[in-house]
Structure formats: structure tokens, C-alpha cells
Amino acid sequence: MRLLLDTHALLWWLTDDDRLGRAIRDRIEDPGNDVVVSVVSLWEIVVKVRVGKLEADIGQIVDEVRRSGFTRLDVGTAHLVALGGLAMHHRDPFDHLLMAQAIAEDLVFVSDDRNVPRYPVQSVTCSDTQGALPQTPPG
């Protein structure tokens, strides 16, 4: 399984937050799975630090992402094309681009955002207790 962590899922993983359920932790820890962190999440963290909504050290986060063996995903043309085709069910540009990346790269998006099920993206919730099986996208 190839997992793309939403920004909050990444932060919960790094801080060992209980909101990240056991089933998802098991999937992230499974060496047979590829865990992906988007540069979009790193950008979102920096933005939230700059506006005072989050205290974090981006250098430490990047180092820990690398130490964890996660794959970093940059933004590419295919992601922007997928983004252009997404509906505007809500207005979070970070979420939109992360979901577009998941769609374009055929990744399972790990997120507790209540808007995600409204989009055509494979996803699992952070608190999923059903073995972290992907939800079928609408449409």
C-alpha cells in the first residue's frame, strides 16, 4: 500500500499522538508499505509556524521524515492537472493539492479531514480501526 500522509497525520506520527490509530500506525510501520510525505505538507507547516498557529522546527521535521524512511513528493505537472479537475467542496488549498497528488500518484490519502470523502480520492482515516482499508472514492 502506498500512503500519502495529510499534514496533521504527519504531525501526529512525529509527536506520537493518540489520534493516529493503531491500524494506521501498523500500516505506516509496515516495511512493505511506501509512506509518502508531500512538500505541500512541509510548506503548510512553515506557513502555520509563520502565522503563529503552530510551533515546530521544519529542519527537525524534514530530518525525521528522512530518518523514518518516508518518500518525499514534490509538486509536478500531473498534480496540477489533477488539481484543476477537483471540485471546490471546501477552500483549503493545501488539502486540495494533497488530494490531487494522491489521485495522480494512485496513493491512499491518510486524513481525518471530514471533507475528504467528498472527493474522488482513495483514503483512510487516521483513527480507522478496520485495518486501514481504503475508502472507495465517490463517482
What pLDDT score was predicted for residue 90?
87
Q: Which residues of the chain have pLDDT under 50?
A: none
- Half-sphere exposure of residue 117, counting CA atoms within 13 Å on the CB side? 6
DSSP E strands, 6-51: 34-38
64: CB partners within 8 A, 6+ apart = 14
Class of domain 2-124: alpha beta
Q: Please write the tens of the pLDDT for every residue from 86-99.
A: 999 988 999 999 99
Residues in the chain: 139
Indicate the domain borders of the chain: 2-124
pTM assigned to the model: 0.92
